[in-house]
Amino acid sequence: MDRVVAGEIADFLKARISGSVRRGAVEIANILPGKPGALSFCKYEDKTAIGIIWRSASSVIICSKKLIADPLPATKTLIYVSKPRLAFSKVANKFFVQKNFISGVHMTAIVCSLAKVAKTASIGPHCVISGNVEIGESSVIYGNVSIYGNVKIGANVIINSGAVIGAEGFGYEPDEDGTLVQFPNIGGVIIEDSVEIGANVCIDRGALGDTIIRKGAKIDNLVHVAHNVVIGKNCRIICLVGIGGSVEIGDSSFVGISASIKNQKKIGKNVVVGMGAVVTKDVPDNTIVIGNPARHFATEFPIGNSGGNEK
């Protein structure tokens, strides 16, 4: 890997720097123990950070602006930012993380002749792509993904192995004798640009409308998204979440590990659904909900109450 000098990193971040601007990094590493010739970051902002930085073997360290006045080692180059983890992520993706996807269709993949796959897209081994599917520029579909018909995938989308996109939703109406009659599933799935979908995720197609994953949303492994769900821009849905039919989740919301959301509920913008929460009611914007059933953290679990929820 090419050597990246600290001055170039600081210029990219538009950040203040101390130490040699010519000191370089050829890889990224954890702050401890660190590695000579590596770039690391320190998330702490107090005396803990000072000790960690002194002990780290890394050559270039991204750290908090709040440490500028503190004595720091001259043997390292420090780059000061407001959000070290975010800055490190940007630098790593820009200079160090190689994502060399080969565009085209793997010889073992099955792609219907009616599907429209951009020339710069990558279709991995053993994928099955049905007709009436569109896959946009620079999107990457890893191996063993199944994409049913009537699915539109935008540009720069990543779908990891084992995902199933566009299968029928789970909806049945009982007849007089108890026989279950399936509700029609004639909708589709729309996945907008820059969405990332984890391994073994299942996204059902809409019943009469579409299931929609908005631009920039990130879905972790082993998540189920039912029919007609709408997930807003830049949402983060963490592993083992179950989202019921016709749920709407507003932009920039976060749904924690193993949470469940009842069908037809509306989750607002900038909402945090806590780990394992069971959402049975609509959730307004800018709210944190936790528990089973999920309740508003600030009002129904007040800080310092006798129920032990102060943590």
Q: Is the pLDDT of residue 306 over 60?
A: no
Q: Indicate if 106 belongs to the active site.
A: no
Confidence of residue 302 (pLDDT cuts 50, 70, 90): low
**What whole-number percentage of the chain has pLDDT above 70?**
95
Q: Is the pLDDT of residue 96 over 60?
A: yes
Domains of the chain as residue ranges with CATH: 4-96 (3.40.1390.10), 163-300 (2.160.10.10)
Looking at residue 283, the DSSP 8-state letter turns out to be B
- The single residue of 106, 126, 224, 227 carrying the catalytic annotation is 227
Mean pLDDT of the chain: 92
Provide the whole-model pTM: 0.89
**What's the whole-number mean pLDDT along residues 49-60?**
93
CB-based contact 26:1 (threshold 8 Å): yes
Region of poorest pLDDT, from 19-23, 69-73, 300-304: 300-304
Query: What's the confidence (pLDDT) of residue 93?
Result: 92
Strands 77-81 and 16-18: antiparallel
The residue ranges of DSSP E strands in 54-171, in sequence order, are 60-64, 77-81, 104-105, 110-111, 116-117, 122-123, 128-129, 133-135, 140-141, 146-147, 151-153, 158-159, 164-167
Nearest-CA neighbor of 252 among 232, 266, 238, 267?
232
pLDDT tens digit string along 220-269? Answer: 999 999 999 999 999 999 999 999 999 999 999 999 999 999 999 999 99
CB-based contact 272:292 (threshold 8 Å): no
